[in-house]
Structure 1
Amino acid sequence: MAGSNRFVHIVDDVTDLGDDPVLVVALHGFLDAGNGSVLAVDHLESTGGVGPVVATFDVDVFHDYRARRPAISFVEDHYESYDAPRLVVRVQRDATGRAFLLLSGPEPDNRWEAFAGAVREVVEVLGVSLVVSLGSVPMAVPHTRPLAVTQHANRRELLLRANQWRGELRIPSSAHALLEVRLGESGHPMVGWVVHVPHYVQGSDYPEAARALLSGVEDSTGLTFDLDALKVAAERRTAEIAEHLAENPDVAELVAGMEQQYDAFQRGIDESLLATDQPIPTGDELGAEFEKFLAGLDGPGAGSDETPDAPEGTD
Structure 2
Amino acid sequence: MGGEPGELYELHLEREEIEALHNPVLIVALDGYIDAGSGVRLAVEHLLGTLPNTVIGTFDIDQLIDYRARRPILTYQQNAFTAYQQPELTVRVLTDADGAAFLLLSGPEPDGQWERFIAAVGQIADRFAVRLTVGLMAIPMGVPHTRPTGMSSHATRPGLLPTQEDWLGVIQVPGHAVGLLEYRFGRAGRDAIGFAAHVPHYIARSDYPETARTLVQATADATGLLLPTTELDAAAAKVRAELAKQIEDNAEVADVVTALEQQYDAYAAATGQSLLAQSAPLPTADELGAQFEAFLADREPPTA
Taking structure 2 as the reference length, the TM-score comes to: 0.89
Q: Deviations over 1:212-259 (max 9, x none)?
A: 101111111100112111011111101101101111111111111111
Residues 1:178 and 2:183 aligned together: no
Q: Deviations over 1:64-119 (max 9, x none)?
A: 21221111100121112100111000011111121111111111121211111111
1:166 to partner: Cα distance: 3.5
Distance 2:225 2:279 in 1: 39
Q: Deviations over 1:127-177 (max 9, x none)?
A: 211111111000111111111111111111112241462411111121011
Distance 1:4 1:60, change over 3 A: closer
1:17 to partner: Cα distance: 3.0
The 3-state SS of whatever aligns with 1:53 is: strand
Aligned residue in 1 for 2:216: 214
Q: Which amino acid aligns with 1:173?
A: G
Percent identity over paired residues: 44
Residues 1:80 and 2:108 aligned together: no
Q: Which amino acid aligns with 2:146?
A: T
Distance 1:287 1:111 in 2: 42
- Indicate conservation of the 8 Å contact 1:150/1:163, yes or no: no
1:295 to partner: Cα distance: 2.6
- How many residue pairs are counted as aligned between the two chains? 293
Taking structure 1 as the reference length, the TM-score comes to: 0.86
The 3-state SS of whatever aligns with 2:135 is: strand
Distance 2:7 2:285 in 1: 43
Distance 1:122 1:85 in 2: 20
- Indicate conservation of the 8 Å contact 2:5/2:120, yes or no: no
- Indicate conservation of the 8 Å contact 1:204/1:298, yes or no: yes
Q: Which amino acid aligns with 1:217?
A: T
Aligned residue in 2 for 1:24: 27
Distance 1:118 1:25 in 2: 13
Distance 1:287 1:29, change over 3 A: farther
- Indicate conservation of the 8 Å contact 1:25/1:134, yes or no: yes
Q: Which one is further off, 280-289 or 96-105? A: 280-289
- Pick the aligned partner of 1:232 from 231, 234, 252: 234
- Indicate conservation of the 8 Å contact 1:31/1:135, yes or no: yes
1:12 to partner: Cα distance: 2.9
Distance 2:41 2:199 in 1: 14
Distance 1:245 1:267, change over 3 A: same
Distance 1:283 1:64, change over 3 A: farther
- Indicate conservation of the 8 Å contact 1:28/1:35, yes or no: no
Residues 1:11 and 2:2 aligned together: no
Aligned residue in 2 for 1:303: none
Q: Which amino acid aligns with 1:30?
A: Y
Distance 2:40 2:87 in 1: 16
- Pick the aligned partner of 2:96 from 82, 94, 104: 94
Moved over 6 A (4+): none
Unaligned runs of 5+ in 2: none
The 3-state SS of whatever aligns with 2:7 is: coil
- Pick the aligned partner of 2:152 from 150, 153, 169: 150
1:287 to partner: Cα distance: 7.6
Aligned residue in 2 for 1:304: none
1:260 to partner: Cα distance: 1.1
- Indicate conservation of the 8 Å contact 2:37/2:199, yes or no: yes
Aligned residue in 2 for 1:120: 122
The 3-state SS of whatever aligns with 1:267 is: helix
Distance 1:274 1:192, change over 3 A: closer
CA RMSD of aligned residues (A): 2.4
